[in-house]
Every structure is written in structure tokens, then in C-alpha cells.
Structure 1
């Protein structure tokens, strides 16, 4: 499970309204061939079938006393793995149930009180939407490693057009054959085609987008899951006031909620804590994998290879293989994959 929490983008080129983001979330409903009955609509804790217009209206109106450069909403993206989606049988209804369950985890992760009581899910104004497709991004390692081939192909296509216009001499047929060869030689392929930015990814790709208002449902209290204030207490007007949001707590709760709700047997490498350890101490991480029972170890290695992390040809399975050079190689690969959202930390 890979979960991200991102504040609204603000600046000269970004709207103060939620309209642009909501419009972005409608992109899948606008794909060719998508019938109305197949479209995914917005929902919240109690309601289904909410229109995008209503989402924009509700989020934009819930911004009392927020400064111009303060985020008016946060985006939460919930990305189940292929194994988790298989357990759910890629069901939209199951994903919807899970969303409503983890929004309870989200609310309970605030170290805040409203009128002397802990925050609960009824205090949160949010709208969620399920998507079933993903496209390769320019930051994905497959696209980046294919880029030299894409650049050369574009150059050859430009040359062909110039030859056709009589602006240069040369063989069109030779260049067309070079293009065919480059398409085949590109290191990352999907269904016999060179992976390029914008290409839809194969396999189950269902995920959840949640747009959460910065203010509570009463439009009176600011609820920020940002990292500016960690869980703490501060004195205000002579009283101790709780503040902050515990992201670690939320991510761990969301994981446990999935496992309990769907009776999912989580492998070591799928755990949030293990993925954190992966970045901090690869040596301890692989040592832990070595200690797993044989069947769990085999699945752990399989899952690890499927994450998209640029690992060395041989995954270290003995203490002798855990060299400093190898650890640095792995850490570099992890950082690269993290930046391209290939893994969730």
C-alpha cells in the first residue's frame, strides 16, 4: 500500500479553486469508449454519486480565514499493490468501503480536539474518486531509460519530413528501418511496444484519489495533515493545546485496516515499517529477509523485484554479499524509485 498526502499547489500559475484538480480527476470518465454506466463518481463518508460541480462548490466554500497562500485542500492518493488488488478482485465497491474505513484512521491521527473531544470522521469534509487506469509518467524509470531511443526516433522522423519536402537529401527507407530497429531495441517494452510517456500501464491499476478540505465541516477549525506541526502540545492563552498530525500513525493504521477488513496476509516487504527500514538500513532490511521462512522469503524477493527498484542482478541473500558498495547501489536505486513514485515510503 502506497499512500501520499500532498497539499494543494499554490502560486502564480495555480488556481485558488479546487476546480482544476477536480477536472483532472474526471479525465478517466472522458476516455473514448467509456459509457456513462461505467463512469466512477465522487463519494464521501455517507453519499455516493456526487457530481464534480458539487465537489468544487463544497471545497471552495469551506475556506474561512485561510490566507491566499495557504492550501485550501489536501490530496490523498491511495495506491494498493497488485497483490492487494487481487485480494479485492479489483472491486470498486471494496475500494469504496476501504476508503471510508481509512478516513476514520485519518481523522483519529490528528492530535487535535474540537469542543473538548477528539476529532472523528464526521468532522472531515472530503470527497473521493476511484480510478482504474494509470499512465507512464516522464519520471518513471522505464520512460527515462527509453528516452535516448525516443529522442533519436524523433530526429529520424524530422529528417524524413525534411526529405519529403526536398529540404535535405537521403534515404527515407533507411531511416524508417532505423526507427523500427530503435523501437525494438528500447530496453523497456509493453506488449511489444516501446514504453513512452502517456502509455497506459498493463495490469490492475485501480487506486483512490481523496480531496480533503483544510477546514473541518463547520468551516471553523483548520485541520492540516502537513508536516509543519508534528504531534505536540503548545501553550496558548495559558492553556495546553494539542496540535499536529501523525503521518506514521495514519499509514500504519491504514495498512492494518486493509489486512483486517479483507483478511490479507501481508508479507514482510509489504509493510510500511519494512519499507522505511529499506531506506534507512538496507543491510538490516536484507538481514530480516534472510531470516524469513523459505516460502515467505521467496515471495518477498519476488515482490521486491516487481517494485521497479533498479536492483543489482543478484539480490544479497547472505551476509557476505552485503558489501558497502552494494548497499550504496541499492540506496541509490531506492531514492530514484521513490522520486518516481515506483515505491511508497
Structure 2
């Protein structure tokens, strides 16, 4: 599971104005069929109008919204059969984690967001195969490619904020401005308190998928493993590789218990792995 929050930029990456351009772009595969916390089949026009209206006390050049991309792996998609209903339920769970990650005591209903499930992805300039000339840019990628785009307002839900304030449930003068791109992480002092821990969010949405759908995730599919292989120390990488070997050996042993006696001869490759695992200090 990849949970990505794109940085800003020009074109569709520019977030200081209306979200209309991004919404129009995300209509390319199928029109409509947006969903939110508690609604289905929302039109693109309503998405733009609602998100653009949910802002207060933001400078002209300030970000007004953000995008969250949730991209299950092909193994995860096979596990749930690429079921759109399950993906919508998962998205709502992921956005609950998004709200909680700010450390401000808010929930998914304190956000304004709309999401859409897409089933196709094409190659771009960042793909290695495009860079080396093996495939052309814009070519459809093979296999299950279902993913979710979420557009979420930077400002907390103003309707709910106003209702809670009028009911005396809070005394905050202004609504929260929520940026997942802040460099603050669980800060307790200063102008910005709370913040947003992006690494923690990636792990949380991964664990949410596993719990929601009973997915038994191999270590090599975890965010922790991928992050360590890219940024970890040699010692940390060695420990994780040893754990992968042990996990594979245990999987092979479990597989043998389901086989007939004639099938239970241990392959030489597994015997070799067993020797390597025994020699590693975990």
C-alpha cells in the first residue's frame, strides 16, 4: 500500500486557487462517481463547489486543498478482488487516520473531502522503463492498477465547526487549517501544535488495510521494510533481510504440513536458507 501526498507545483499541482482543474482531470476515466464520508455518487460540479466554499482566513497564495493518493499493491487488490465497495470503505478508514494524525482531536467528519476510484494507470517520465526507452510515455500499465484519489480541504469542516461552536462544544475563535505537508511533527509548543507525521500515516493506512480485510502482509510488503532499504543503516537492512529469510523458511515449513508425505521432501533451496537463517543473529 502506497499512501502519497503530492507536493505542490505548477499546473494541476498548484493548490492556491480552485480545485476545478484537478477535479476535471480526474474525470478522465469516468464522469461523476465521487464519494465522501457519508455520500455516494457525487457529481464533479458539487465536489468543486463544496471544496472551494470551505475556506476561511487563508491568504490568497496559501494552499486551499491537498490530494491524497492511496495505491494498493497488485497483491492487495487480488486479496479484495479490486472491489470498489471495499475500496471506498478503506478510503474512509484511511481518512479517519488522516484526521487523527494531526493530533488535534478531530475525526473524519471534521474534514471536507471527496474521493474517486480509478482503475487505470499510465507510464510517465518517472518510470524506469520510460527512462531507458523500453516503453513509451502514456502507455497503459499491465495488471490490476486500481487506486484512489482523495481531494481534501485544508480548512476543517466549516459547517460542523459552526454548529459545534454555537452548541458551546468549543471556544476556538477560528477553524483549524490542516496541512499534511507541514514539517511539524507532534509539536506541543509554538505557533503550530500537532503537525503531521507522514511516515506514521503511511504505516497506519497499511495496518488499517490489514485489519479491515484480514490481509497477512509479508515483511517485504511493509512500509517499514521499503523505507529501511532506501534510508536505513547497513545494520538495520541486514536485520530486516534476516527476518525475511526466517519468514520465508517458516512459510515453507507451514506449506509442508499441508502436503502428503511424498511431497514433504525439503527442497535444497530451503535447506540452504535454513542454514543461513540459523547463522544470523536476529
TM-score by length of 2: 0.76
Q: CA RMSD in A?
A: 2.6
Q: How far apart are residue 228 of structure 1 and its match?
A: 2.8
Number of the residue aligned with 1:2: 2
Secondary structure at 1:28's aligned position in 2?
Answer: coil
TM-superposition CA deviations, 1:91-112 (whole Å, max 9, x none)? 1111111001111111111122
Q: Distance in 1 between matches of 2:70 and 2:201?
A: 12
Q: Is the CA contact 1:111–1:246 (under 8 Å) kept in the aligned structure 2?
A: no
**Secondary structure in 2 matching 1:253:** helix
8 A Cα contact 1:10 1:69, kept in partner: no
Within the alignment, does 1:216 sit opposite 2:156 as a pair?
yes
Q: 1:264 to 1:136 in 2, by over 3 A?
A: same
In structure 2, relative to structure 1, the CA distance for the partners of 1:280 and 1:297 (3 Å cut) is farther
- Which residue of 65, 81, 89 maps to 2:81? 89
- Say if 1:47 and 1:85 are closer, same or farther in 2 by CA, change over 3 A: same
Q: Which residue of 2 aligns with 1:196?
A: 136
Which residue of 18, 24, 47 maps to 2:39? 47
Change (3 A) 1:286 1:85: farther
Aligned residue in 2 for 1:18: 19
Check whether the contact 1:63–1:215 (CA below 8 A) recurs between aligned residues.
yes
Change (3 A) 1:298 1:74: farther
The secondary structure found in structure 2 opposite 1:231 is strand
Task: Choose which of 222, 242, 248 in structure 1 pairs with 2:199.
Answer: 248
What is the CA-CA distance between 1:253 and the residue it aligns to? 1.4
Q: Deviations over 1:202-226 (max 9, x none)?
A: 1000000000100001173211111
Does residue 296 of structure 1 match 2:248?
yes
Query: How is 1:156-235 mapped onto 2 (pairs within 5 angstroms)?
Result: 188=134, 195-218=135-158, 220-235=175-190
Q: Deviations over 1:185-243 (max 9, x none)?
A: xxx3xxxxxx211111110000000001000011732111113322201256xxxx733
Paired residues in the alignment total 237
**Does residue 121 of structure 1 match 2:108?**
yes
Partner secondary structure for residue 55 of structure 1 = helix
Cα-to-partner distance string for 1:259-288 (whole Å, 9 max, x where unaligned)? 011100101111111111111236332442
RCO higher in structure (CA 8 A, sep ≥6): 1
- Match among 122, 125, 128 for residue 141 of structure 1: 128
Rounded Cα–Cα distance in structure 1 between residues aligned with 2:118 and 2:200: 26
Partner Cα separation in structure 2 for residue 8 and residue 277 of structure 1? 26
Show the counterpart of 1:57.
49
TM-score when scaled to structure 1? 0.63
Q: Is 1:130 the equivalent of 2:131?
A: no
Post-superposition shift, 1:25?
0.6
Q: Distance in 2 between matches of 1:272 and 1:289?
A: 14
SS at 1:130 equivalent: strand
Which among 219, 232, 244 is matched to residue 281 of structure 1?
A: 232
Question: Residues 147-183 of structure 1: CA distance to partner in whole angstroms, max 9, x if unpaired?
Answer: xxxxxxxxxxxxxxxxxxxxxxxxxxxxxxxxxxxxx
Tell me, yes or no, if the aligned pair for 1:76 and 1:210 is still in contact at 8 Å: yes
TM superposition shift of 1:298: 11
Give the number of the structure whose alpha-carbon radius of gyration is greater.
1
Whether contact under 8 Å (1:75, 1:212) holds in the other structure is: yes
Q: Is the partner of 2:193 in helix, strand or coil? A: strand
Say if 2:206 is the partner of 1:265: no
Distance 1:298 1:23 in 2: 49
Alignment of 1:21-36 (within 5 A): 21-29=22-30
Asked if the contact 2:112/2:157 (under 8 Å) is kept, the reply is: yes
